[in-house]
Every structure is written in structure tokens, then in C-alpha cells.
Structure 1
Amino acid sequence: MKLGALFKRGANLIKLGLAVRDIKKSTSEDQHKRAKKYLIELLGKSRGLPTKIGQFISMEDNSLRDSLGDSIVPMSFEEVSEILERTYGQSTVFKKLDKKAKTASLGQVHFGKLDDGTDVAVKIQYPEIASAVESELDIMGWLPKAGPVAKWGFRMDGYRDAFWHNFSEELDYKIEIEHQIRYRKLIPPLERIIIPEVIEDLCRPNVLVQKREDGFGLDKAETMMPAQKQAMGRLLLEHYFHMLFRHGFVHADPQPANLSFRQFKKDYFNLILYDFGSVLEIPDEMRLALLRIILALRNHENIDPVSCLSALGFDPEKLEDIRPTLPALLSVLFEPFLLEAPYHVKDWRMSERFDQIVGELKWWFRSAAPPKLIFLMRTLHGMTTMLNRLDVPLPWQFLLDKHLSDIYPAARELKLPQVRTSQAIHTFDDMARYLKVHVVKSNGNKVSLTMPARCADDLKGVMDDSVKESIEKQKIDLDAIQEKAQKTGFIPQTLFSLSDQERDMKVWLE
């Protein structure tokens, strides 16, 4: 690593830090938007690790995503031509190569044509990008621990190693080629998922050549009819379920630029995936442990959540402090997999609900996770962000059962680690299944309602206006009652009783 490169990247990171400070200091919405746009543009101009961060930040904002793309300065076509000449010598490999490039964090893509007429996409790595990324990760290792990193004991060395392993694979086109070839072999029986074919003979350490596969992106997809968006959303879910839970080998850079759709009939589509530099590979024990948690939550099994999380690599000692809340936390984390009805990811509100259950201790939960798990969370976050843009409910549980029920027995047979504790063990069986409401009206009529226990997350939302008015008159603190239910992990309990001239009412978790 060159000292000059280190200082250059360090100075650039200082600029980025100042831009973040400007966002925090902004006092109006306009100031905040301008500061955030400036930060995104800086991230794009920086390439490498900063641009990766920019892709993550701008995933849900079209204007920021456009700003990021516009700010990445491409290599000139003259520079590209020189690289290709040094790579292939004087021989003419490409009959045609477009001068316009599609830029990304670590390289850029030019479309072209081979002598035999094959349409190709040629991916060319930026010169010196590897040393730039290494410099940034070195600087990251020197940064003083502050904020949640210091308070909650995050293992920064572990995160740096995990990031470097991920980036070193992305920077090695030989590894990316192996990923892409393996993906093409594993993706069947999902016939409507297209993985571009790599032309291995033409690939080099800094150049990747593959057959061109065109489609339209999320910008167009999100404007289509609900039934069409559901068809595309199902393809996304089926792909991730198949590759993550069956093979433990899944595309780990889910962003709009890395996928497209191709339409054949009104509601019939193909999903095309690009860029296999970042692929998450997890061991069989971990993918089966994920399924084991889902099945245990679904069936309210008498299993210790700490044992399940330990199988994923969590630190059981750290989890001791939040043990009573773990069934509730995990029910939020895996909620889409637990409901029979189609689920809309906008209803997830994961961060907000984690705050409601454990408050600041959510950082303790996160710091207990192994650093490598951050790439699984990035994968799932990217997937749900794209599903949110499609804005349709999807049958998560049905699709999981359809494609993976044959490996449920292996998940159930997984031997979980035994974790010793001096505390009471709170299992998945301890959680209430239902929120129940029983009303006896003044005329003697009785009304009983049964809802999923998760409705206790929003007690005001399930009460009609007249009941809420009576609750306020009797000074019943619904917020405090709801907070107690959340912090006790939604165990069976009476929430409140109400008696007035119109009704006698009882609400409880069962």
C-alpha cells in the first residue's frame, strides 16, 4: 500500500466526515436535503468503499440514487482502450465497444459485440481501486471507538476483517467468475431466473466479459399494475429463499443496478441478476438454524432463543441481559415468515419496534452478532427495500413452504448448542398467540374478538373512537400498558379492563 494513497483516501474521508456533520447540524428540511445530496455526491466521486456506502444510503431515494450515479466519474474511453490493449495485446477482441459506460463503485461496464456477433457486457476494474479500498479499511481500523461502537462493545477488528474479505473477493474477477458460474448451476429449478453466461476465455484479472442480458429496472417496475408487481416480487422472494435457505450461497449486493426484469406476457416475467462479486456463503448449520428459528416461532416451540442465536454465531453472554425479550425481538425480526396472509414490508417497522421492546439495548443485541452477519442483514435489507418499492403484499410463508418444506425435517433435527444460564429461560412457547377482546354491552349482547398477538403493538389502532374516549376519561394509560406488554415479551397477561355505561370490556394476551 502506498503512503500517498493512504493520505489521499484519509483526506477524502475527512471531507465525508464533515459532510455528515453538516447533515446533523442542518436545521431545516431543505438544508438537510442539500447536505445529504452533497454527501452522496462526495461518496460517488470517491469510488470504492464510500460509493458502496452511498449505494446503501440512496437505495430508497430515486433522486439521491441518480445523484450518486451522476457523480461517479467514469474512466475516459481512451483510458479504457489503453487498459484493453495492455490486457489483450494488439489482437482485436471486440468488433464493437460502446464509448458510454455504466459506472459502479469498483469498475464500469461497456456494452459491445464480438466478432461472431455475440452481444457482450465488458466489466473493467478501475486502476488502483484495490489499494484505495485497503487504505480506507486500514483507516477504519485506526478510528477511535465512539458512540454505539464504544458503548456496546462492537468488535471493530472483526468488522474490518469481514469487510476486507468481502471487498477482496469483489476485487478479484477470478472469484467473481467462479461465483457466477456456480450460481448458474444452482439456480435451477427456478427457470425464470437468468444469470448471464460468462465468456471465460476472454476474462482477465481486471476484465470480465459476459453475454449481454437486457431488461428493465425497478424504476419502470414500480409503475406497473399491482398483479404485475406481485409477479415480479414473487420472483425476487423465490430467488432469495432458494439460494439462501437451500444452498447458503446468495447474492449479497442487492441494489437496483444489479437486477432487471424481462416481460414476456402480461403477468409473466424473468428476473435477471448482475454482478456476483459479493456473494454471501454461509455454512449448512447457519442456514438450517435460520429455518429452525422460523419454524420454532411459527409453532411456539419450547426452545431457548439463546440456543438458536448461538447456532448463528451470537455471543450468548451478551444475550443474557436481554434474554426475556428475545422471543419478542425474534418474532419481529422474522415476522413476514410467520404470517399466513400476504405481507407488505412497509408494515414491518423493524427498527421502531425494536426500540419499543428493548430501547437502546438493541445495540447490545446487534453487537452480540458475529461481524459476518452484517452481510446477511445487508442482503435482507436490500431485498426488502426493493420489495417496498414494488409496494405490494406478498405470500412469504406460502413461498417458503412451497420451495423449502422438504428441508424442514433437517432444520428440526439440527442440534442446537446448550447454553447455561442462572436466569429463567424464556422460550418461544412463552409468547402469547392472540390478543383477545371480550365486550358485554349494556343491552346484554356479547362480542368477542380474537386477533394475532402482534396487534398488541398498536392497541390504539384496534380500538374504536368511543372506546378510546372512555379510556381517556378513566385515565387508563394505553401507552404504558402497551410498553409493558412489549418489554415483557408479549407473554400472556391481562392488559386492561374497562367499565362504563355502554359496556364492560376486558382485553388480554392469551
Structure 2
Amino acid sequence: MAILKTAKRALQFFHIGLAAKKLQRTQDETEHLLAKQALAGLFADARGITMKVGQLFAGNDGTTPFQELVEGIEPLPLKAMIPLLEAELGQKVKSVFRSIEPAIAAASLGQVHLAVLKNGDQVAVKIRYPDIADAVDAELRLVGLMPGVGPVNRWGFDLDAYKKSLRDNMRRELDYRSEAQRQDVFGRSVQVPGLKVPKVYSNLCRERVLVQSRAQGVLIDKAASWSEQDRLAIGQTLMMTLFKSLFVAGEVHGDPHPGNVFYSHDEYGQPQVTLLDYGCTINIAEQRRLALLKLIVGCRERSSTKPLDCFAALGFDSKKLIPISGSLPALCQILFRPFLINHPFDPEQWQLGKSFNDLLGDYRWWFRSAGPSDLFLLMRAFQGLIQQLQQLDVNLPWWTLLQQAVGREFIQQAMAFELPIIKCAPTAKALSFDQQATVLCVRVSEGGEQRISIKMPAEAVLDLEHLIPEDVLERIIASGKIDLKQLSDSIRANGIVPQQLFTFEDGRKTYRVWLSNSD
């Protein structure tokens, strides 16, 4: 029977793969939409892990076919769920509820029914699908057969660790008692203005049933049309929730797709964010929290903190990071850019992928492969926040809100946190933030007199070829005296540290370019 179910899920995977390839190849707009609809339909039919992948598409896509995965798919009839509900509760439905309604929508592992308890409390009852556990087990067996290919194989990703992380997380999500406990802890430990976590009725929660207070509100596409003041308040609540859950509580909501957040106004007319579905949360140990905050503060203040030591404390493989350790301070400047400024940050200006690639090139895969297997869940949480801010069209001061969320005392604790020291080979450079150059300097003189003097952020050196005027660049290349590619490779390997980059004599003109750590 298990083999048959695995084969059935494999066939669904196969059809989804074909639909995804068709979507990727389609150029015509109408055909593209039809391909999306077909792919979304396959995700919906599959439920389980595959539907969760479809919900990730919805978070990135925001278009109608995938949006249906967020708002819910066709649920099973109430009469099909009642026997399961009564079996879990150990009593008849009418003994517990005054009424229970058919589900209006369904999710990846279960569906939600609105109900009224005997005492009059209005609740939402989440019931796990019959046989979904077997379907997920079949999918996990397929995941276990996945080979390491492409970047996964070339750059040494620990695929077994990622598979284990997925397997542990999915099996935990299937137990609603575990979810209820985590939801209760989250609600008590993450106190943020404007945040509402539904109350859990623990006495009615079972492995396949979760009962919580009823939540009301609209999805983000509707909230995006609210006033700027309301949207800013919502954005602050979302950001403060992530920061407080990550650094203070150490328990992060790891499933930030749009269907898990309701937006409303409380009885005083103030914007309110209701966070749902705690099946996927990420536990972050205190050492890792302190190391991450120390990394952000060190990067911001250009302290003597060494990023290599912080990344190792976060769970990264230090042996893999040592060959690129010279680039880690600059990498942190890219990753933590929103925290480095004091004014509201526009995510559209981040260009994270391009900057990441400019600095590391193909070695970006080496950095990713060095990360712990649960890192992708934390990245999902941050990615979800950024997408929500973009949909709300608001810019927020990240550093100010981080300070408010964690408090000065915790920041000082992080700054004083002693990291394990990572020993490097003599040829490797484990640079600290204060060793990194701060400015890229360009000076042009003619006949011994200065004509042009320009200073720009040191990170601009990563795009040096595009900063040089085309005619000058052509003459530099033609001279054969300066190898700009070799220069870029050296910077990537050794870091953006103070140094003379090159001097180029061009007739009466002299071009001098260098990196400095003084303004």
C-alpha cells in the first residue's frame, strides 16, 4: 500500500514538473496565464507538501491562479469530516458545539470550520484531512530519493540535513497538539502593539483537531488600499513581530504566506494584525540569536567583531567559509543594509541578488551551502516580511524598530557575547568590520595638477568596470598593464580592505584609484 501511495504522489510530482516547465517556456501572455492556472490546479489537487510549494508561488507571484491557493481550495464536505472530529474528541459534535458550519476553504494539510461552542464562544476548528499523513509520508519518501544535482552537488550542500529538516518540520505540522502549544507560547512571549494571536482551547485540541478563537479580517490585497497611516501601522506590527519573535522569544513564524495573516481594525479603530497557523515555527537558540544581533550591530558600528566567528556561532560550516572569509564583512554590508541606515528603507533599492552575485560570483553557492539546514525557513520569514511591505507600499526604519523590539539591554548583551574563536590557515584572512575600507577614492590629475577627486562607498569597487568611462576603460584594457578581472577576483578573495588598486598613465592624465578607511 505504501509503495502504491508513493507511486501516486510521484505521478503528481511528474505532472507538476511538466506544467512548471511549460510555464517557464511559454512566451504568449494568454498561454502563460493558462499555464499558471494549470500549475495552480495541480498544486491544489495534490495538497500536502506540494500545495505548500504552490503557496510559496503565491507569495512571490501575487496573480490570480496562485492566489487561490492562499485564499483556499475546494474543501471536503462537512459530513466527511464529522466522523474524524468525533473520533478525536471522543464524543458527539453536538455535545461540544452549538453549531458547526461547512468549511468555506481548505489548506494544504487540513480545513477550517467556523463553529460556536456550548458556552457561546465563536471558534474556528481546524481538522486534518483523512489520510493526509499517509500522503505526506509518501511525499517525504520521494524527497528522500532526491539526488544531489546542479549547484546542490557541485557546491556540497548537505542535502541529507535539508531533507531531515523538511521531514521533521512536516511531521511536526501534522500534530495539531504541537501547533496548539507553540501558538500558545508565541501569544504569551511575543507581545507587540497591534498583534493578535488567536486563543487556543487546549482542552479541545487533539492530534488531528485544533480549536482556537475565531479570527476575522481581510487579506493583504484588501489592506493595501487602506490609508497610509494604517498601512504604516500594519507594517510596523509585522516588522516588530518578526524582530521580537526572532531575537527575544526565539520562536519565529516560518510560514508567512499571505493567507496566514488577517488585517482588521479593533474596537478603537486601530489597525490590527492577526497571525494564523503556527504549524511551521523555527526555534532559534539563544547563542544563535546573540550571534546574529552581534553581527548586525558589529556591521553597523564597524566594530572589531569578526563575521566569520558570528557565522560559525549561527551554525555555518566555518571550514567552508574560510576561503571566502575576506569577503564576509562586505557581504554583511549587503545582507544587513536595511539596518545600517537611520531613515526608512525602501526594499526596492536593495538589489540583494545582484549585489550578492557581484561580490561572490559563483561562490554565492558556497556561502549558501555553508549555512545550516534550517536557514531557509528563517529566510522565508524575512522574505515574507519584505513582500508584505512591498504590497503595503510602505518604507520603515529597520534599525529603530529593531531597537524598540529587543531593547537596549539585549543589544548590550549581544555586543558583550563572547564568540567561539575560529582558527584560520595563515593564508586565510578572517577580517573584522573595522578592517574594511569605507570609501573608494578616484583622483584624476593632469600635468601634475588635480582635476577630479571623487569619493564613494567602498562597496562600489565591486562594480568598478562600470564606473570607469568607456573610452578610459578601452585604453586601460588596450594597455595590458592592468587586469581588472584579476583585481576583482583578489578583492573577492581578500576583502574590501584599504589598498592601492591601480595607477594608470594616459598621456598627460594620471588616474589613481584606491580604497581607504578614512573619509
Given that 1:305 and 1:427 are in contact with CA atoms closer than 8 Å, whether structure 2 keeps it comes out as: yes
In 2: Cα distance, 1:508 partner to 1:17 partner: 50
Given that 2:304 and 2:434 are in contact with CA atoms closer than 8 Å, whether structure 1 keeps it comes out as: yes
Distance 1:233 1:225, change over 3 A: same
* Deviation for aligned residue 1:109: 0.9
**Equivalent in the alignment of 1:417:** 420
TM-score normalised by L of structure 1? 0.88
In 2: Cα distance, 1:57 partner to 1:460 partner: 36
Given that 1:97 and 1:111 are in contact with CA atoms closer than 8 Å, whether structure 2 keeps it comes out as: yes
1:440-459 equivalences in 2 (<5 Å): 452-454=457-459
Unaligned runs of 5+ residues in structure 1 are none
Distance 1:201 1:379, change over 3 A: same
Distance 1:154 1:298, change over 3 A: same
Distance 1:27 1:271, change over 3 A: closer
Given that 2:73 and 2:105 are in contact with CA atoms closer than 8 Å, whether structure 1 keeps it comes out as: no
Aligned partner of residue 270 in structure 1, secondary structure? strand
For residue 21 of structure 1, what is the amino acid of its counterpart? Answer: K
Residue 351 of structure 1, aligned match among 350, 353, 369: 353
1:492-507 equivalences in 2 (<5 Å): 492-493=498-499
Residue 107 of structure 1, aligned match among 88, 110, 114: 110
Residue 164 of structure 2, aligned match among 161, 164, 181: 161
Q: Deviations over 1:224-277 (max 9, x none)?
A: 333332221111111111110112111111111111222359994222111111
Aligned partner of residue 328 in structure 2, secondary structure? helix
Given that 1:228 and 1:266 are in contact with CA atoms closer than 8 Å, whether structure 2 keeps it comes out as: no
For residue 151 of structure 1, what is the amino acid of its counterpart? Answer: R
**Equivalent in the alignment of 2:46:** 46
Given that 1:217 and 1:261 are in contact with CA atoms closer than 8 Å, whether structure 2 keeps it comes out as: yes
Q: Deviations over 1:5-52 (max 9, x none)?
A: 212112211222222333444455655554344223212211111111
**Equivalent in the alignment of 1:13:** 13
Residue 382 of structure 1, aligned match among 375, 381, 384: 384
Distance 1:91 1:391, change over 3 A: closer
* Deviation for aligned residue 1:321: 2.5
Distance 1:451 1:103, change over 3 A: farther
Distance 1:473 1:151, change over 3 A: closer
* Deviation for aligned residue 1:338: 1.8
In 1: Cα distance, 2:277 partner to 2:270 partner: 24
* Deviation for aligned residue 1:330: 2.0
74-83 vs 154-163, which moves further:
74-83
Distance 1:70 1:274, change over 3 A: closer
* Structure 1 residue 290 corresponds to structure 2 residue 292: yes
Aligned partner of residue 148 in structure 2, secondary structure? coil
Distance 1:269 1:455, change over 3 A: farther
Given that 2:109 and 2:129 are in contact with CA atoms closer than 8 Å, whether structure 1 keeps it comes out as: yes
Aligned partner of residue 113 in structure 1, secondary structure? strand
Distance 1:509 1:271, change over 3 A: farther
In 1: Cα distance, 2:152 partner to 2:301 partner: 36
* Deviation for aligned residue 1:99: 2.0
In 2: Cα distance, 1:140 partner to 1:236 partner: 33
* Deviation for aligned residue 1:458: 6.3
* Deviation for aligned residue 1:334: 1.7
**Equivalent in the alignment of 2:320:** 318
Given that 1:357 and 1:489 are in contact with CA atoms closer than 8 Å, whether structure 2 keeps it comes out as: no
Distance 1:155 1:473, change over 3 A: closer
Distance 1:475 1:81, change over 3 A: same
* Deviation for aligned residue 1:59: 0.3
* Structure 1 residue 139 corresponds to structure 2 residue 142: yes
**Equivalent in the alignment of 2:496:** 490
In 2: Cα distance, 1:351 partner to 1:236 partner: 23
* Deviation for aligned residue 1:370: 1.4
* Deviation for aligned residue 1:2: 2.3
**Equivalent in the alignment of 2:308:** 306
Given that 1:485 and 1:491 are in contact with CA atoms closer than 8 Å, whether structure 2 keeps it comes out as: no
Residue 277 of structure 1, aligned match among 276, 279, 288: 279
Seq. identity, %: 35
* Deviation for aligned residue 1:358: 1.2
For residue 3 of structure 2, what is the amino acid of its counterpart? Answer: L
Unaligned runs of 5+ residues in structure 2 are none
In 2: Cα distance, 1:380 partner to 1:77 partner: 36
480-489 vs 385-394, which moves further:
480-489
* Structure 1 residue 182 corresponds to structure 2 residue 185: yes
Distance 1:269 1:471, change over 3 A: farther
**Equivalent in the alignment of 2:80:** 79
Number of residues paired by the alignment? Answer: 503
Distance 1:274 1:431, change over 3 A: same
Residue 433 of structure 1, aligned match among 430, 438, 448: 438
For residue 229 of structure 1, what is the amino acid of its counterpart? Answer: R
For residue 386 of structure 2, what is the amino acid of its counterpart? Answer: T
1:381-400 equivalences in 2 (<5 Å): 381-400=383-402
Residue 369 of structure 1, aligned match among 367, 371, 374: 371
Residue 131 of structure 2, aligned match among 125, 128, 133: 128
**Equivalent in the alignment of 1:258:** 260
Given that 2:70 and 2:259 are in contact with CA atoms closer than 8 Å, whether structure 1 keeps it comes out as: no
For residue 86 of structure 1, what is the amino acid of its counterpart? Answer: A
**Equivalent in the alignment of 1:170:** 173
In 2: Cα distance, 1:191 partner to 1:125 partner: 32
Given that 2:330 and 2:459 are in contact with CA atoms closer than 8 Å, whether structure 1 keeps it comes out as: no
